[in-house]
C-alpha cells in the first residue's frame, strides 16, 4: 500500500492513514509512505496507492498513549526518510505489545525518544537564536520585522506559537529554507521557504543588541567550550552579537584581572533587600541521569532556608513510568519524619479518595511542590506553615526534573501552591477548577483542592460536596487515562 502524504510534515495525513492501515492490520513492511519530495513511480510494481478511507463497519479500536501522538507529531519534522514507516511500525506493534513504550532499549522506541529530543533541542535553538531586523512600517504605522533562520529540522510550525505569544504586538515574518511563517497581529500564516537575501541583514537595532550583549558579558565567567556547544557556529551569521565575541574574549583575561584587583563592590541597599527575599533555583553540580540520581541530589539541597530546620528532604515516589502524577504542597510533620510524601492524615484521606475513584496509588507518582517541611515550633509541636513564593520558586527545579523523568500524561495538583508551582505564576485556584488545562508539553492538568483542606473542612457544611468534587477530579483523571487509549480513533 502506498500512502501519499501532502507534505513533509503531514501529521494529520499520516495519522488518518496509519489508523486505518492498523485497523486493517496491514504489516509495516507492506506500507510505503511518500511525500511530494519522495514520490516515485512504483505502480510498475503493482502496488496500490491512495488514501485509506475509514471503513465505518469495522469498529476495531486502535489505541495508543497520548504521549506517543505528541512525540509522533514532533518526530515527523525530522529529516529521516523512514520516519513515517517507523512511526507506523510503533503504532502497529503497540496493538499487540502494550508495554512497548516502556521498553526504552527497543530500537524503535529509542529512535522515537532520541528523535523527539533532537526536535525539542532544535525548537529551543530557534527560540533562542532568531534575531529580528526592522523590515518596514505598515501604512497604519505598525512596524514590521523579519528574521532569517536555518533550523536543522522542519520545526517552523512547532516553534511558531512561541513567537506568536512573545511578539503578539508586532508584525513579523521568519524566513527559513523550508517555510515562511508570518504574523500580522491576528493570524499566523505559513508559505514556501525563502532565501537569506529576502531578509534585511542589518538595522539600527543591531547596535542596541551589541551594547546589551557587551554589558551582560562577564569576563570572569568565560567558558568557551560551553559557549560553542550552546551556540553552534551555524547560527552565528544571523546574530549581531557574535561579531563582538572575539574582541570580548581577547580582553576577558585583562578585565578579569582588573576585577580581582579592584575587589568587590557592595550591592545597593535595594538589591540586598531583594536578594534576601528571593532564593536561587536549585542547580546541583552532580550528573543526574535518573530519578534516583535526582532524589539523591535533592537530599543534599540547601537552596533555601527550609533545609536548615526540616529533618530531611521528602522526594516524590512512585513508578517513573507513571501516567498520572499528583503534586501536593510540601511534606507535613509525619512526612518529614518518614521521608515519604503523603503518609500522614492528608495522605490517608488522599489514599481513601483514590480508592473511591478507582485509582491505585501504586501506579501514581506522588510528589510535592516543595520538598522540605516548613513549620512554626509551638512547644513540642511543629505547626504547618505554608511555603513562601521564594520556597516554591527555589524548589520548582526539582519538580520540573521529576516531570522530565516521569513524563506523566496527567498531573493533578492539590491546592494553590502545587498549581502555582506547575503553572509558574500566581494563581487563583477557583479560576482553574473543573476544567482541563493543557500544559505547553501536552500534559493535561487538573487543578484540585488539597486533602488537608478537606480535613479542615470536615465539621462544616459543604464538606461533603467538596470531598465529592475532589473524588470527581480523580475520576476525571482516571477516565482520561482510559479514554487516552482511544486517542487514535
Ligand atoms: N501535604 C502535602 O502537600 N504533602 C504531603 O506530602 C503531606 C501533606
Atom of ligand 1 nearest to the CA of 366: 6
* 81 part of a folded domain: yes
74 within some domain: yes
CA of 367 to the centre of ligand 1 (A): 8
Q: Are 104 and 110 within 8 A, CB to CB?
A: yes
310 shares a domain with 194: no
Name the band, by pLDDT with cuts 50, 70 and 90, for residue 44: very low
B/e letters for 302-335, b = 16+ CB within 10 Å, e = fewer, are: ebbebbeebebbbbbbbebebbbbbbbbbbbbbb
In a domain, 112, yes or no: yes
Tell me whether residue 225 is in a domain.
yes
Residues 74-84: tens digit of each pLDDT: 999 999 999 99
Q: Which CATH number do you get for residue 418? A: 3.40.470.10
**Pairing mode, strands 324-328 and 364-368:** parallel
77 lies in the same domain as 188: no
Residue-wise pLDDT tens digits, 219-235: 877 777 777 777 777 78
Model pLDDT for residues 235-280, shown as the tens digit of each residue: 887 787 787 888 888 888 888 888 888 777 777 777 777 766 654 5
User: Does residue 216 share a domain with residue 323?
Assistant: no
Kindly tell me if the per-residue pLDDT of 52 is higher than 70.
no
Shared domain for 385 and 465, answered yes or no, is yes
pLDDT in tens, 414-459: 999 999 999 999 999 999 999 999 998 889 999 999 999 999 998 8
* Residue 264 counted as domain residue: no
State pLDDT tens for residues 370-396: 999 999 998 889 999 999 999 999 999
Closest-lying ligand 1 atom to the alpha carbon of residue 417:
3
3-state secondary structure labels for all residues of the chain: CEEECCCCCCHHHHHHHHHHHHHCCCCHHHCEEECCCCCCCCHHHCCCEECCCCCCCCCCCCCCCHHHHHHHHHHCCCCCCCHHHHHHHHHHHHCCCCCHHHCCCCHHHHHHHHHHHHHHHHHHHHHHHCCCEEEEECCCCCEEEEEECCCCCCCHHHHHHHHHHHCCCCEEEEECCCEEEEECCCCEEEEECCCHHHCCCCCCHHHHHHHHHHHHCCHHHCCHHHHHHHCCHHHHHHCHHHHHHHHHHHHHHHHHHHHHHHCCCCCCHHHHHHHHHCCCCCCCCCCCCCHHHHHHHHHCCCCCCHHHHCCCCCCCECCCCCCEEEEECCCCHHHHHHCCCCCCHHHHHHHHHHHHCCCCHHHEEEEECCCCCCEEEECCEEEECCCCHHHHHHHHHHHHHHHHHHCCCEEEEEHHHHHHHHHCCCCCHHHHCCCCEECCCCCEEEEECCHHHHHHHCCCCCHHHHHHHHHHHHHHHHHHHHHHCCCCC
pTM given for the model: 0.55
Of residues 326 and 55, more confidence is placed in 326
334 CA distance to ligand 1 centroid (A)?
Answer: 9
- Pocket mutation for ligand 1, best pick of 311, 313, 329 (most atoms within 8 Å of C-beta): 329
Whether residues 116 and 161 fall in one domain: no
Share of the chain above pLDDT 70, in %: 91
Whether the per-residue pLDDT at 34 is higher than 70: the answer is: yes
Confidence at residue 240, expressed as pLDDT on a 0 to 100 scale: 78
Q: Locate the ligand 1 atom nearest the alpha carbon of residue 414 and give its number.
A: 3
Query: N- to C-terminal Cα distance for the chain?
Result: 21
CA 346–ligand 1 middle distance (angstroms): 7
Instruction: Inform me whether the pLDDT recorded for 66 exceeds 90.
Output: no
State the closest ligand 1 atom to the C-alpha of 418, by its place in the atom list counted from 1. Answer: 3
- The residue from 79, 106, 125 where one domain ends is 125
CB neighbour list of residue 284: distance below 8 Å, 6 or more residues apart: 297, 300, 301
> Which three cell numbers mark 415?
491546592
Nearest C-alpha neighbor of 324 from the set 370, 360, 369 = 360
Q: Which ligand 1 atom minimizes the distance to the CA of 314?
A: 6
Average of per-residue pLDDT values in the chain:
88
Task: Tell me which residue range forms the domain holding 135.
Answer: 130-198
Neighbours of 59 (CB within 10 A): 8
Choose among 417, 370, 420: nearest CA to 395: 370
- pLDDT for position 56: 53
Of 413, 421, 452, 456, which is best to mutate to test ligand 1, by the most ligand atoms within 8 angstroms of its C-beta?
452
Per the domain annotation, does 272 fall within a domain?
A: no
CA 442 to chain CA mean position, Å:
8
From the CA of 61, how far away is ligand 1's center (Å)?
39
Residues with CB under 6 A from ligand 1: 328-332, 335, 341-342, 344, 346-347, 368, 452
CA 391 / ligand 1 centre spacing (Å) = 15
For 289-300, what is the mean pLDDT?
A: 92
What span, in angstroms and rounded, lies between the C-alpha atoms of 328 and 330? 6
Residue that finishes a domain, picked among 101, 125, 149: 125
Q: Please give the distance, rounded to the nearest whole angstrom, from the Cα atom of residue 365 to the centre of ligand 1.
A: 13
Residues 71 and 214 reside in one and the same domain: no
* Count of alpha carbons within 13 angstroms of residue 290, beta-carbon side: 6
Q: What pLDDT does residue 487 have?
A: 46
Judged by average pLDDT, the poorest of 13-27, 50-64, 294-308 is 50-64
Co-location of 309 and 167 in the same domain: no
pLDDT bin (cut points 50, 70, 90) of residue 39 is: low
154, 172, 198: which is the final residue of a domain?
A: 198
Residue 222 shares a structural domain with residue 103: no
Residue 94 has pLDDT above 60, yes or no: yes
Q: Show the cell assigned to 281.
A: 533555583
Q: Which of 27-41, 375-389, 474-488 has the lowest mean pLDDT?
A: 474-488
Do the domain assignments include residue 153?
yes
Task: Tell how far the Cα of 434 is from the centroid of ligand 1, in angstroms.
Answer: 22
User: For residue 315, which phi and psi values (nearest 5 degrees)?
Assistant: -90, 165
Residue 90 belongs to some domain of the structure: yes
Instruction: Give residues with Cβ within 8 angstroms of 241, minimum separation 6.
Output: 209, 210, 212, 213
Quote the pLDDT of residue 331: 97
- Best residue among 306, 317, 335 to mutate for probing ligand 1, ranked by most atoms within 8 Å of CB: 335
Rounded average pLDDT over 391-404: 95
Do both 141 and 239 map to the same domain? no
Is 317 found in the same domain as 249?
A: no
- How many structural domains compose the chain? 4
Q: Using one digit for the tens of pLDDT, what is the confidence trace for 104-160?
A: 899 999 999 999 999 999 999 999 899 898 888 888 888 899 999 999 999 999 999
Of 44, 2, 7, 46, give the one whose Cα is nearest residue 21: 2
| pLDDT at res. 316 | 98
- What pLDDT score was predicted for residue 43? 45
One domain for residues 177 and 215 = no
Residues of the chain above pLDDT 90, percent: 62
400's CB contacts (< 8 A; 6+ apart) are none
**Does the pLDDT value for residue 466 go beyond 60?**
yes
Query: 266 C-alpha to center of ligand 1: Å?
Result: 40
pLDDT at 223: 77
Quickly state the pLDDT bin for 28 (edges 50, 70, 90).
very high
CA of 162 to the centre of ligand 1 (A): 34
Same domain membership, residue 191 and residue 65: no
For the CA of 451, the closest atom of ligand 1 is: 1
For residue 46, pLDDT beyond 50: no
Amino acid at each position: 500500500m502506498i500512502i501519499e502524504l501532502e507534505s513533509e510534515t503531514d501529521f494529520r495525513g499520516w495519522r488518518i492513514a496509519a489508523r486505518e492501515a492498523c485497523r486493517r492490520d496491514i504489516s509495516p513492511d507492506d506500507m510505503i509512505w511518500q511525500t511530494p519530495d519522495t514520490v516515485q513511480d512504483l505502480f510498475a510494481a503493482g502496488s496500490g496507492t491512495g488514501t485509506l478511507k475509514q471503513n465505518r463497519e469495522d469498529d476495531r479500536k486502535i489505541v495508543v498513549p497520548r504521549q506517543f501522538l505528541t512525540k509522533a507529531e514532533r518526530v515527523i519534522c525530522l529529516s529521516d526518510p523512514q520516519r513515517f514507516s517507523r512511526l507506523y511500525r510503533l503504532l502497529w506493534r503497540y496493538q499487540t505489545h502494550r508495554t512497548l513504550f516502556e521498553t526504552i532499549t527497543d530500537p524503535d522506541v529509542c529512535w522515537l525518544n532520541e528523535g523527539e529530543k533532537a526536535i525539542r533541542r532544535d525548537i529551543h535553538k530557534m527560540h533562542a537564536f532568531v534575531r529580528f531586523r526592522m523590515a518596514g512600517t505598515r501604512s497604519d504605522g505598525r512596524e514590521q520585522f523579519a528574521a532569517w533562520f536555518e533550523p536543522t529540522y522542519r520545526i517552523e510550525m512547532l516553534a511558531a506559537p512561541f513567537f506568536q505569544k512573545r511578539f503578539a504586538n508586532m508584525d513579523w515574518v521568519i524566513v527559513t529554507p523550508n517555510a515562511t511563517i508570518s504574523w500580522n497581529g491576528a493570524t499566523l500564516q505559513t508559505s514556501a521557504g525563502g532565501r537569506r537575501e529576502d531578509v534585511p541583514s542589518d538595522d539600527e537595532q543591531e547596535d542596541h543588541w551589541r551594547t546589551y550583549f557587551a554589558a551582560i558579558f562577564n569576563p570572569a565567567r568565560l567558558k568557551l567550550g560551553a559557549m560553542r556547544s550552546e551556540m553552534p557556529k551555524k547560527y552565528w551569521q544571523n546574530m549581531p552579537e557574535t561579531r563582538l565575541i572575539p574582541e570580548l574574549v581577547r580582553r576577558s583575561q585583562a578585565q578579569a584581572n582588573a576585577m580581582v584587583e579592584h575587589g568587590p563592590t557592595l550591592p545597593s541597599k535595594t538589591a540586598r533587600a531583594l536578594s534576601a527575599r528571593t532564593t536561587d533555583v536549585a542547580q546541583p553540580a552532580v550528573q543526574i541521569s535518573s530519578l534516583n540520581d535526582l532524589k539523591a541530589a535533592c537530599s543534599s539541597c540547601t537552596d533555601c532556608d527550609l533545609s536548615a530546620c526540616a529533618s530531611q528532604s521528602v522526594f516524590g515516589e512512585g513508578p517513573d513510568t507513571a501516567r498520572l502524577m499528583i503534586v501536593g504542597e510540601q511534606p507535613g510533620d509525619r512526612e518529614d519524619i518518614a521521608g515519604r510524601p503523603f503518609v500522614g492524615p492528608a495522605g490517608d484521606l488522599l489514599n481513601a479518595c483514590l480508592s473511591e475513584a478507582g485509582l491505585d496509588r501504586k501506579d501514581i507518582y506522588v510528589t510535592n511542590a516543595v520538598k522540605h517541611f516548613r513549620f512554626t515550633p509551638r512547644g513540642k509541636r511543629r505547626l504547618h506553615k505554608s511555603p513562601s513564593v521564594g520556597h516554591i520558586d527555589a524548589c520548582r527545579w526539582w519538580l520540573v526534573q521529576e516531570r522530565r523523568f516521569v513524563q506523566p500524561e496527567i498531573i493533578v495538583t492539590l491546592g494553590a501552591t502545587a498549581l502555582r508551582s506547575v503553572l509558574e505564576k500566581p494563581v487563583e485556584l477557583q479560576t482553574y477548577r473543573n476544567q482541563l488545562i493543557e500544559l505547553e508539553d501536552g500534559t493535561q492538568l487538573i487543578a484540585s483542592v488539597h486533602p488537608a483542606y478537606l480535613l479542615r473542612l470536615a465539621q462544616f457544611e459543604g464538606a461533603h460536596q467538596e470531598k465529592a468534587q475532589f473524588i470527581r477530579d480523580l475520576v476525571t483523571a482516571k477516565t482520561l487515562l482510559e479514554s487516552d487509549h482511544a486517542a487514535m480513533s
